[in-house]
């Protein structure tokens, strides 16, 4: 590369402003600077910035401009990857779920309603970043067109359209695409740089050089680790493998973007998912990624290996006075008792609106949230089934229409756990009753962030039958579990917890309180004894936990606590638990 006519090697790190509290932006960036980086890279998540069509949020932890200006102040260049699609193991790859209200939606193509939504969003976003370009005195030196499109490649006109659109809106810096070598072969766009993504060198730079012999070599995603999903082992890349590949990149004259340099956390319901031949797999809450800076901000062995290699190839670029930077203080608050509880059924009163339909409707199609539908969380379907007096049980069909996983109830008692891959029909005992209330609580485990995009509607997307007869007249409760709902739930009528059960007959909300007697510090909630659910602290959603691992703890940033009493609300699907414990270290099960 050349910048202002001078040769330049880009030494960049991926760091996502939306995966950590704003209070930690400076800390993470300064640690990257000390390692010898001259550039940072970040995605821009459309679904967070436009959660409802036409209503935008670029404030607080989503203040993109402040983040870029902070990087500029710390003398970084910036590689910006604005999407529309970002992958990143992020919910729906960063696309907003309200796109799916169009039953014919074809995302990442020239399908007119999709392009209209992208145009509207970019018309709002680009004026923020246009003046931050390098040629205007800002730090942004390059923009990516979409993300890894060659590996998807549904429309040959899509990337050329995005290129022309950005340039017409005043984007004058370098444009690039990134992908695997196979994906890069799918499309060549004049004036757009190809960059490659990989974990190990192999022949990638040779292949890239053959594609564009007069262009600089860059790995846009040098995968420093890997992401994790529920029920699988914690993935790592050894320090030795990492160091060998980084040496190869620099020895061959390449530029690099470490993906991830700092991973952070998929707070809330923002984890992505993927599908393969074995089914649907939801990603975990932690996005630690086995990166150079750990989820909690600690420097890892990989960090110091990178610093050593960077200093070898580019002497004087690293900060030799900060070989051991101070750790972010952490504390264990011990164990605190669960004091109160409220059942799922009593918690429905805090929902602002319920919907009645003849047949089940998926969450995106609910007429709520200013025509945005329901995006995240759980959704409860309830219907009354009339029964002949001689029936001993009813057989429930249509479970293949449940996305992603659900709990089936008969008269508010758990009968079975269901998902769309089931081949059997669960049975509800009725014992001669004249009628029974059938309820199905469905969790949106996260929309896939890779390949399968259009078939992403969650909840029940089809019929449900009882003894082969379609069940009709449903009451639908959107359990979005957003901050507004949690605060309303907190003010509901809770009861004292009684230590008298081993398992739950229906899901429960639990409440506890932790007191910070001095300035709050980072901590972890130890969820290893719990079953499955979600944790909220002072109204903020820390994310999901699940006993199948590999994640056993939830990271709780100190800035989300305050001195004095802090409220914890836990939505638990399966277990009776009487306490919540804290740790000062993370934990992954093997």
As annotated, the active-site residues are 148, 221
Which tokens sit at 334? 């011990």
Which tokens sit at 191? 């004036």
- Residue 505 CB partners (closer than 8 Å, separation 6+): 412, 413, 414
Polymer length of the chain? 590
Whole-number Å distance between alpha carbons of 569 and 28? 29
Q: What share of the chain is helix, strand, coil (3-state, %, to 5)?
A: 25, 30, 45
Whole-number Å distance between alpha carbons of 387 and 393? 9
Tokens 């390449």 belong to residue: 254
Whole-number Å distance between alpha carbons of 301 and 242? 11
Cβ-contact 178, 197 below 8 angstroms: yes
- Residue 331 CB partners (closer than 8 Å, separation 6+): 521, 522, 523, 582, 584
Chain centroid offset of residue 95 CA: 11
Cβ-contact 22, 63 below 8 angstroms: yes
Which tokens sit at 476? 């639908």
Using CA atoms, how far residue 436 sits from 15, 389, 412, in Å, is: 52, 12, 10
Whole-number Å distance between alpha carbons of 458 and 460? 6
Whole-number Å distance between alpha carbons of 223 and 243? 12
Edge-to-edge order in the sheet of strand 393-397 = 427-429, 393-397, 465-466, 469-470
> Phi and psi for 51 in degrees, rounded to 5?
-70, -25
Q: Of 234, 125, 221, give the one whose Cα is nearest residue 169.
A: 125
Cβ-contact 140, 173 below 8 angstroms: yes
User: Residue 188 carries which DSSP code?
Assistant: -
Q: Where are the alpha helices (DSSP H) in 448-522?
A: 483-490
Cβ-contact 535, 545 below 8 angstroms: yes
Whole-number Å distance between alpha carbons of 313 and 247? 9
Q: Where are the alpha helices (DSSP H) in 327-482?
A: 344-347
- Residue 491 CB partners (closer than 8 Å, separation 6+): none
Cβ-contact 82, 133 below 8 angstroms: no
Whole-number Å distance between alpha carbons of 343 and 397? 27
3-state secondary structure of 118: helix
Radius of gyration of the chain (CA): 25
């Amino acid at each position: 590369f050349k910048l202002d006519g001078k040769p330049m090697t880009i030494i960049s790190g991926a760091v996502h402003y939306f995966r950590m509290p704003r209070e930690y932006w400076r800390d993470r960036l300064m640690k990257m600077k000390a390692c010898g980086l001259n550039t940072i890279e970040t995605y821009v998540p459309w679904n967070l910035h436009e959660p409802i069509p036409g209503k935008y949020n670029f404030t607080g932890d989503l203040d993109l401009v402040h983040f870029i200006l902070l990087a500029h102040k710390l003398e970084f260049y910036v590689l910006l990857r604005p999407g529309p699609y970002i992958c990143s193991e992020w919910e729906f790859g960063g696309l907003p779920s309200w796109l799916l209200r169009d039953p014919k939606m074809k995302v990442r193509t020239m399908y007119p309603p999709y392009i209209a939504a992208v145009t509207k969003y970019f018309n709002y976003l680009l004026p923020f970043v246009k003046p931050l370009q390098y040629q205007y005195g800002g730090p942004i030196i390059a923009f990516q067109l979409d993300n890894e499109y060659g590996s998807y490649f549904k429309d040959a006109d899509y990337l050329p359209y995005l290129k022309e659109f950005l340039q017409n809106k005043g984007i004058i810096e370098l444009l690039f695409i990134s992908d695997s070598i196979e994906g890069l072969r799918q499309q060549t766009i004049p004036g757009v740089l190809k960059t490659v993504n990989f974990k190990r060198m192999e022949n990638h730079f040779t292949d890239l050089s053959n594609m564009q012999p007069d262009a600089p070599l860059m790995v846009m995603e040098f995968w420093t680790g890997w992401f994790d999903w529920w029920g699988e082992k914690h993935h790592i890349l050894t320090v030795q493998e990492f160091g060998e590949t980084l040496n190869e990149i620099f020895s061959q004259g390449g530029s690099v973007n470490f993906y991830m340099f700092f991973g952070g956390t998929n707070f809330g319901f923002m984890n992505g998912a993927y599908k393969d031949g074995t089914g649907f797999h939801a990603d975990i809450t932690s996005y630690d990624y086995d990166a150079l800076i750990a989820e909690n901000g600690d420097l890892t062995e990989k960090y110091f290996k990178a610093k050593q290699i960077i200093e070898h190839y580019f002497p004087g670029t690293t900060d030799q006075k900060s070989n051991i930077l101070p750790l972010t203080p952490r504390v264990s608050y011990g164990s605190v008792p669960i004091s109160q509880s409220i059942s799922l059924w009593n918690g429905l009163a805090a929902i602002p609106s319920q919907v009645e339909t003849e047949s089940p409707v998926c969450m995106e199609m609910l007429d709520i949230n200013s025509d945005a539908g329901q995006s995240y969380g759980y959704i409860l379907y309830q219907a009354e089934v009339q029964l002949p007096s001689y029936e001993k049980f009813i057989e429930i069909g249509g479970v293949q229409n449940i996305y992603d996983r659900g709990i089936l109830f008969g008269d508010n008692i758990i009968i079975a756990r269901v998902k769309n891959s089931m081949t059997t029909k669960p049975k509800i005992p009725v014992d001669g009753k004249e009628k029974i209330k059938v309820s199905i609580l469905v969790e949106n485990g996260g929309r896939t962030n890779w390949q399968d995009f259009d078939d992403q509607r969650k909840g029940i997307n089809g019929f449900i039958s009882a003894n082969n007869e379609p069940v009709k007249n449903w009451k639908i409760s959107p359990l979005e579990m957003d901050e507004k709902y949690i605060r309303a739930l907190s003010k509901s009528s809770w009861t004292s917890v009684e230590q008298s059960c081993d398992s739950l007959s229906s899901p429960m909300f639990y409440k506890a309180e932790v007191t910070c007697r001095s300035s709050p510090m980072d901590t972890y909630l130890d969820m290893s004894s719990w079953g499955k659910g979600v944790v909220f602290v002072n109204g903020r959603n820390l994310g999901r936990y699940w006993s199948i691992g590999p994640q056993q703890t939830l990271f709780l940033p100190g800035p989300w606590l305050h001195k004095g009493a802090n409220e914890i609300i836990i939505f638990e699907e399966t277990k009776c638990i009487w306490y919540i414990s804290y740790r000062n270290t993370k934990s992954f099960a093997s």
